[in-house]
Structure 1
Amino acid sequence: AIGGGLGLVLGLVTGSVRFFEPLLDSSVQMVRNIPSLALIPLVILWFGIDEAAKLFLIAVSVFFPIYLNTFHGIRNVDPGLIEMGRSYGLTRWGLYTQIVLPGALSSILVGLRFSLGLMWVILIVAETISAQAGIGYLTMNAREFLQTDVVLVGILLYALLGKLADVFA
């Protein structure tokens, strides 16, 4: 929720106000090119191997798809629709709430759906590498003791949770 919320707000700001694009977008694009998993050693130094480390990695990972899809969704709203709204006398706020946001909603939801899938991948890797509890920890612990059945149950749990997240998205 943290990374997605920040991505949504920043995407709305940079997509709506052209003044902020050169200030914020280039910096976001630069940081976006750093793989989230490359941050794991730094995150372990900062947060240890607690839940905060996993939350930070997930927040950083889901931020970018939501930001990019929100930004491009707002920028790609049909100019004809905006002109039509102006001809009907809509205020700036009316244009934004009745034309721009609904026009960008499909892109925003695509970013949300992609972020949910990415969230599961990052959570699995974070739990596998640096955790003291969780499905990833259980699976890695079972791997060390050659408990294939427990490893398969962990994988099936991840598949089930991913499917549920996809259904509810």
Structure 2
Amino acid sequence: TVFDSSMQMLRNVPHLAIIPLVILWFGIGEEAKIFLVAIGTAFPLYLNTFHGIRTVDSKLIEMARVYGLGPVPLFWRVILPGAMPSILVGLRFSLGLMWLTLIVAETISASSGIGYMTMNAREFLQTDVVVLGIIVYALLGKLADFITRLLEARALAWHPTYRLTATRGATS
């Protein structure tokens, strides 16, 4: 798996370490933030998806082949549903990294955004605005996690392990 080893090599480079390069390539606009968020969230999502696919029960795959499922139906009906719990864990983890990346990108190099607002407030010793920025980030992070948990509860309603825990977790 040459692709996986290449991904692992790239994954070990901290995505925040390439901020100077991203500024040179994209400037300090929205494109730079989008690029950094994409790089930062891609690897956790990839790793969890890769793990989920590799851990799909081989007996289910064998049974699907015995029933005559071709490669495409096998993917959609067996592999993807079997990997979905891991994919959704990767999504939740990626959302956390997304907020971290966005905060750092906006505080280091941005001309707009909550991070930019808090950095300007810091310059003028406006503690209330800095605290407000932190609270807004916390609330947005909680909202993103709540929405992901609802998606998880809906996408995994068929899964015996997630029937009770996903709906209970979505409300907490």
TM range (shorter): 0.7 to 0.9
1:81: how far off?
1.0
Instruction: Give the aligned partner of residue 72 of structure 2.
Output: 93
Gaps of 5+ in 1: 1-20
Counterpart CA distance in 2 for 1:90 and 1:68 is: 27
Q: Spell out the pairing of 1:101-116 with structure 2 (5 A cutoff).
A: 101-116=80-95
TM-score (norm 2): 0.83
Counterpart CA distance in 1 for 2:115 and 2:65 is: 53
What secondary structure is seen at the aligned counterpart in 1 of 2:74?
helix
Give the aligned CA root-mean-square deviation in angstroms: 1.0
Instruction: Give the aligned partner of residue 9 of structure 2.
Output: 30
* 1:129 alignment partner AA: I
Instruction: Give the aligned partner of residue 46 of structure 1.
Output: 25
Residue by residue over 1:74-124, the C-alpha shift from the partner in whole angstroms, topping out at 9 and shown as x without a partner, is 111011111222232322222221111100011111111111111000000
* 2:12 alignment partner AA: N
Counterpart CA distance in 2 for 1:121 and 1:86 is: 43
What secondary structure is seen at the aligned counterpart in 1 of 2:112?
coil
| Identical residues among aligned pairs (%) | 70
